Amino acid sequence: MRRAGELSHSYLSGKARPVSVRWVGNQNSRWGSATPAERTIRLSDKLQGMPAWVVDYVLLHELSHLLVAGHDASFWRLLEAYPDTDRAKAFLEGVSYATSRGMPAEESPPVED
Ligand SMILES: [Zn+2]
C-alpha cells in the first residue's frame, strides 16, 4: 500500500487511489490484476524476489488500470513516465518464456529420475 501510494504520487499525479493492495498465490497466468470498481489490486507472489523495478512496474501497471481499463494508447501513455517499462516487460516475458520451456520460476527441490 505504501509503495502504491508513492508510485501513484510519482507517476500518476496521485490519481490512482487503491483501497487494498495484496499478494496472492493463486494467479498462475497473470502477474497482477486490478478491479477498478472496488479499487483493489492483487499481485502474484511469484513477483517476490524479483528486482524492485519489475515489481514497481507491475504495481504501476495495475494502478494505471484503476484509471484506464484496457490497454489502449491512453493506458500506455500513463506508463510512459516510468523509466523501466520496456525493460520490465522484457524481463517478465523472459520469465514466462523460461517457465514455459520447463525452467522453474521458483527454486524447487531436485527430482531424481
Ligand atoms: Zn494490463
Q: How far is the CA of 74 from the centre of ligand 1 (A)?
A: 12
Is pTM, for the whole model, over 0.95? no
Please report whether residue 112 resides in a domain: no
The answer as to whether 50 is a domain residue is yes
Q: Residue 103 Cα, ligand 1 centroid: separation in angstroms? A: 25
Q: How far is the CA of 81 from the centre of ligand 1 (A)?
A: 16
Which 3 state secondary structure label does DSSP give 9? helix
DSSP 56-107: HHHHHHHHHHTT--S-SHHHHHHHTTSTTHHHHHHHHHHHHHHHHTT--SS-
Please report whether residue 52 resides in a domain. yes
Domain that holds residue 51: 2-99
Q: What's the one-letter identity of residue 48?
A: Q
* C-alpha cell recorded at residue 14: 496521485
pLDDT in tens, the chain (113 residues): 999 999 999 999 999 999 999 999 976 678 999 999 999 999 999 999 999 999 999 999 999 999 999 999 999 999 999 999 999 999 999 999 998 887 765 555 555 55
64 CA → ligand 1 middle, Å: 8
Q: What's the half-sphere exposure (Cβ side, CA atoms, 13 Å) at 49?
A: 6
pLDDT at 29: 73
Domain assignment present for residue 82? The answer is yes
CATH of the domain at 64: 3.30.2010.10
Residue 104 within any structural domain of the chain = no
Q: 49: part of which helix (H) or strand (E)? A: none
CA of residue 2 to ligand 1 center, whole Å: 21
Ligand 1: centre distance to CA 39 (Å): 14
107 CA from centroid of ligand 1 (Å): 27
